[in-house]
Amino acid sequence: MAAGQRVCASSEIGPGEVQRFEVDGHPVAVARDSDGTLHALDDICSHEEVSLSDGFVEGCALECIGHGSAFDLVSGRPNQLPATDPVSVYALTEQDGEVFVDTSTVLNA
């Protein structure tokens, strides 16, 4: 059995798409990068209280619609101002066509 909470079927998120889920009380953005890999990260921008899942996936980054900060999907680090603090990146597994997110495992802590 996969660790974490089931959030969706793998097929529900296509390349370049992002969706918001509540996982153990945390808002989490699940995004598929241009290579087809899924990533889970904190859904709230570290610059202001804006939902990252309302943003855009470009390559391996998620751009916030608030002020244009973009966060690396692997490291959580912003690669564009005005954000300077990273967002948490959570463990994500795909098993039997299902996506599971574990917010107790922060990959970039």
- What's the pLDDT tens digit per position in 38-84? 999 999 999 988 999 999 999 999 999 988 899 999 999 999 889 99
The reported pTM is 0.94
Residue 76 in tokens: 């959580």
Buried b (16+ CB within 10 A) or exposed e, 49-59: ebbbbebbbee
Domain housing 13: 5-106
1 CB-near residues (< 8 Å, 6+ apart): none
Number of domains in the chain: 1
- Residues 52, 88: Cα–Cα separation, whole Å: 12
Distance CA 69, CA 78 (A): 6
CATH number at residue 16: 2.102.10.10
